[in-house]
Structures are given as structure tokens and as C-alpha cells.
Amino acid sequence: TDLTGFQDYVLGGKKLAMSKLVTYEPADVTNKKLAWEIVGGCDYATINASTGALSTKAVTVPYEFTVRVSSTYAEMAVTIYPATTKVSIFNNGENVTGKTINEFVGETLWLEALSTPEESMMYYDKAGWQWISSATDYVSIDANGMATILKGGKTVTITAKALDGTNKTATF
């Protein structure tokens, strides 16, 4: 039994079916019954010993603990991260969240999204951002937040969406 490919982080307040993330060697093993435990205990997570269902509580700072498949002694460090509560969009260091800015055709904006709290999964690059333009024929935006003004004459809304499971957004 191996925990290969197991994600080593989870958003506080979420559940994770750890048994679905286990690989068995050999692959045709017939006894797939495992015993799960949290090593040393944990105030912010519980695990069902027979199913591997991990439940976490909300946290305000990252909290790390170890999960063990006690029947094989395979272990994995897991970190619970705080949920994103707010997203802000910056252009050249200026917070443009909720603002209207005027740009010229052909200009490029290098946008950055930041999450609150600072200690969230987003801060540690454990999840990404989805950038959305309300009118891609006027303003295109790539996966890195680079927005290009293609043509004028329309107000376009740009949205940054946190992909950490909270789906929190900010727009300008």
C-alpha cells in the first residue's frame, strides 16, 4: 500500500476521502481493508479508522499533522490551510478591486490576485487563480493574469477566482 499521489494539504472545514487516493501493490491485491490513524492526535482533524474519511475544522493558520495507514505504516504529512475569505486584484502594486480604470488599445496589464488571510492555500501556491474577462473580444486575459486591451468602446469586468475550494472572487 502506498500513499503516492496523495495531496498533502486540505482546506480547513473540508473533507477528504483518503482511501480513494491509495495505490495498492500488487494492483490485484484482494484484501484492501486498511486501518487509518492520525499520529499523535490532532485538534483540527479526525479520521474514520476503517474508511479513511478525513474531516477537518476551520483554522486561522496552517496546521500540519501526520496520517498513517497503520496496517502498513505508510505515512503522509498533511497541512490544513485557512479558507480564503477575501480576494483583491492589484495592477502594478495598486489595489484595483472594485475600481474602473481606463486603458488604451494595445496596452497590457500585469494583474496579481492576493488572498486574505495571508496564510491561506493561495499564499503558498497550493491552488491557482482563474482569470475571467466579461468580453474576451475587448480584453483578453491569460492564466497568469496578463490582460491585453484588444479594442475600446466597452466596459469590461475582469474577475479573479480562487481555485482553493472557496471560489471567492474579486472584480474590477
Write out pLDDT tens, residues 84-128: 999 999 999 999 999 999 999 999 999 999 999 988 887 777 788
Q: Which is more confident, 20 or 18?
A: 18
The whole-number average pLDDT for the span 143-164 is 96
Q: Which residues make Cβ contacts (< 8 Å) with residue 117, sequence separation at least 6?
A: 60, 82, 84, 85
Q: What is the three-class DSSP state of 88?
A: strand
165 Cβ partners below 8 Å, 6+ apart? 11, 14, 83, 127
Q: Is 39 left (phi over 0), alpha (psi -120 to 50) or beta?
A: beta
Beta-ladder partners of 47: 54
Residue 44: count of CB within 10 angstroms of its CB = 15
Amino acid in the structure at residue 110: W
- Asked if residues 21 and 172 have their Cβ atoms less than 8 Å apart, the reply is no
pLDDT in tens, 32-58: 788 999 998 899 999 999 999 999 999
113 - beta bridge partners? 89
> How sure is the predictor about 7, in pLDDT bands with cuts at 50, 70 and 90?
low
Q: Which residue has the cell 474577462?
A: 133
What is the pTM (predicted TM-score) of this model?
A: 0.82
Q: Which residues contact 112 (CB under 8 A, 6 or more apart)?
A: 89, 90, 91, 145
> Which residues partner with 160 through β-bridges?
131, 170
